[in-house]
């Protein structure tokens, strides 16, 4: 099988923790051919097909020069057995346009995971609105007065932009309302942009749990990202400490409830964020934490992913 990974620049990878690297390593270990390109290298022209400047690579096992380029060629995307979209957020305009090119590639016969249409239909902050039975008190608005009323009701709240990643732009406002007006103006750009507001969940002290769902089935361990020092954010990018732990009954119930639904829509890999008993985000663009879970528990998440990828491709051939 020849797999094309659409990624950020390979030189930017921190391979000791990079999930895409773990996927590549497992695929190569099984004898699959690995190639890579960046979204900017994709294009389409009238009378042609979606193509990209693609590097065929071999992983070397060395920590610094971890890959070598075997050759570079311009290739149609449908010529690969599978395409794994692994471009990190933010889900900005260029990411959106890339999903449209991938949708066209799928029309031409490409097998893309996660399905590009599903990436567009499941924005990571807003996708939880479909599942209100699993979330805490939440408000999505650009109206400052609505945010103030939500704060008056719940007293201790979290505000965050809809296009943030890695904990960027997240604010907590306690009962005293300190700086609420300034934070609203910063996030909603004086009413021009929509904001998500959620009741603060004290269980964040035990971690913001990343629950991975692969092929509709939960990985048996989550990675609890625990805030450090005076931080309210547990994100690893914001300095949180990652602690792998078995799924709780509630974690598993949420994952088993959502997993088959999301998988049926073409989402092979999903990262659910759970604080305490509440679902807070559904991550579909480039979910991570494979290596942290493997390093701490020995459970091979990358192997589970490549298993699911191989099964999906077999199913597509039969279908």
Catalytically active residues, by annotation: 125, 160, 210, 225, 233, 273, 281, 283
**Distance linking the first and last C-alpha atoms of the chain:** 18
Task: With both helix axes pointing from N to C terminus, report the angle between 301-318 and 290-297 in degrees, rounded to the nearest 10.
Answer: 130
| 178-183 CB contacts, 8 Å cutoff, 24+ apart | 180/147, 180/148, 180/151, 181/144, 183/159
**Separation CA 316–CA 115 (nearest Å):** 13
DSSP lists the bridge partners of residue 54 as 73
CA atoms within 13 A on the CB side of 109: 9
Choose among 17, 15, 18: nearest CA to 60: 15
CB 302 within 8 A of CB 21: no
DSSP lists the bridge partners of residue 72 as 55
**Separation CA 33–CA 80 (nearest Å):** 10
Which phi and psi (to 5°) does residue 157 adopt? -135, 160
**Separation CA 249–CA 264 (nearest Å):** 23
> Which helix (H) or strand (E) element contains residue 138?
strand 138-141
């Amino acid at each position: 099988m020849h797999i094309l990974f659409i990624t950020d620049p390979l030189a930017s990878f921190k391979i000791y923790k990079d999930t895409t690297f773990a996927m590549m390593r497992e695929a190569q270990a099984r004898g699959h051919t690995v190639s890579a390109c960046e979204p900017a290298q994709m294009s389409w022209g009238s009378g042609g097909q979606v193509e990209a400047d693609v590097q065929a690579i071999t992983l070397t096992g060395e920590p610094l020069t971890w890959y070598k380029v075997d050759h570079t060629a311009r290739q149609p995307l449908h010529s690969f057995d599978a395409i794994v979209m692994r471009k990190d957020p933010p889900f900005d305009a260029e990411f959106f346009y890339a999903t449209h090119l991938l949708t066209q590639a799928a029309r031409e016969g490409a097998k893309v995971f996660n399905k590009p249409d599903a990436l567009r239909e499941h924005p990571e902050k807003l996708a939880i609105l479909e599942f209100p039975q699993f979330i805490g008190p939440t408000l999505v608005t650009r109206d400052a007065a609505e945010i103030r009323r939500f704060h008056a009701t719940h007293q201790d709240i979290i505000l965050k932009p809809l296009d943030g990643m890695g904990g960027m732009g997240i604010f907590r406002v306690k009962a005293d309302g300190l700086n609420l007006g300034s934070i609203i103006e910063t996030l909603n750009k004086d009413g021009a942009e929509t904001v998500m507001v959620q009741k603060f969940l004290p269980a964040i002290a035990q971690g913001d749990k990343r629950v991975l769902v692969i092929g509709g089935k939960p990985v048996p361990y989550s990675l609890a990202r625990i805030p450090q020092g005076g931080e309210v954010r547990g994100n690893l990018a914001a300095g949180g400490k990652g602690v792998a732990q078995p799924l709780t009954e509630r974690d598993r119930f949420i994952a088993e409830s959502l997993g088959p639904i999301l998988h049926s829509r073409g989402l092979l890999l999903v990262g659910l964020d759970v604080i305490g008993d509440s679902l807070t985000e559904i991550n579909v663009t480039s979910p991570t934490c494979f290596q942290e879970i493997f390093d701490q528990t020995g459970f091979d998440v990358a192997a589970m992913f490549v298993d699911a990828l191989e099964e999906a491709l077999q199913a597509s051939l039969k279908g």
